[in-house]
Amino acid sequence: MPGFSMDAAAEQRFNVNLSILFTELPLLERPAAAAAAGFTAVELWWPWVDSPTPERAELDALKKAIEDAGVQLTGLNFYAGQLPGPDRGALSIPGEESERFRANIDVAADFAQSLGCKALNALYGNRVEGVDPAVQDELALENLVLAASAADRIGAVLLIETLNKPESPLYPLVSAPAGIAVVDRVNEATGLGNAKFLMDLYHLSMNGEDLPSVIDRYAAKTGHVQIADNPGRGAPGTGTLPLEELLGRLRKQGYEGWVGLEYKPGDRPSAEAFEWLPTEARAAR
């Protein structure tokens, strides 16, 4: 598999998404597995898909596993329903799901704060049959304002992510401009300026966007980057995306934040899915 050059890799700060990599292991064993593979930073989707407010003992156990592994939590999703699965987000879905999202806001923010995590990701939510999209958008803005305030309370950014239409056909944010428009609306509503774009190069490529143009236009509003190759959502080098070049372009545009490894390991243990990345470049500097 083609790899990143050491010079190019050394310019980036990589973390591992423990909700898509190392999932062959129990949740509490994943931080240590990432550390054993040479990484010093991790991120997570909300780990308790059935509970926006898990028992304190569960929160404490995960916190201890992360601390004991000696890795830094750099990103955390708010509750977003069944992820992975048919659901994509909860905050714009009227009724129980929206209420579950609201119940999760302070729980997620407090957990992130306890580990020094400075980025909280809020998935927008699918369109719902029979509900006016404008009603969903109004509800989404209300909940994103609450989420941005909670993120601000802990000194974090609120991330707004675009997905891709082929895999998430009911998700309304399937282009970079759509995601940026929500970022701008939230910042205008709160005056906090802490809403940022989550630039997922895999999802954007699946939507057929011009990635160099997206980078040039929106790097300044980007708070986090995630990568996987396309096609297949595998490790860099398994598809055709020029990820080394694209990340270099982001750096030239001034992006110095984290790059989350959010790809599928394929038919092998996750620990074997990092040969593209020199070992010396896995520890964040």
Residues 275, 1 contacting (CB under 8 angstroms): yes
The confidence score (pLDDT) of residue 284 equals 84
Nearest to 112 by CA among 160, 70, 78, 142: 78
- Which H or E run includes 258? strand 258-261
Catalytic: which of 43, 161, 209, 244?
161
161 labelled catalytic: yes
Is the omega angle on the peptide bond into residue 231 within 30 degrees of 0, that is, cis? yes
Please give the pLDDT value at position 86: 66
Tokens standing for 259?
């790059």
Q: Is residue 262 flagged as an active site residue?
A: yes
Distances (CA, A) of 208 to 28, 171, 225: 37, 16, 18
pLDDT digits (tens, 9 = 90+) for 27-55: 999 999 999 999 999 999 999 999 999 99
Q: Indicate which residue of 11, 209, 244, 262 is catalytic.
A: 262
Which parts of the chain sit beneath pLDDT 50? none
This prediction has a pTM of 0.96
| Domains detected in the chain | 6-281 (3.20.20.150)
Pairing of strands 222-227, 72-77: unpaired
Report how far residue 198's alpha carbon sits from residue 74's, in angstroms, rounded to the nearest whole number.
13
Q: pLDDT tens-digit profile of 156-190?
A: 999 999 999 999 999 999 999 999 999 999 999 99
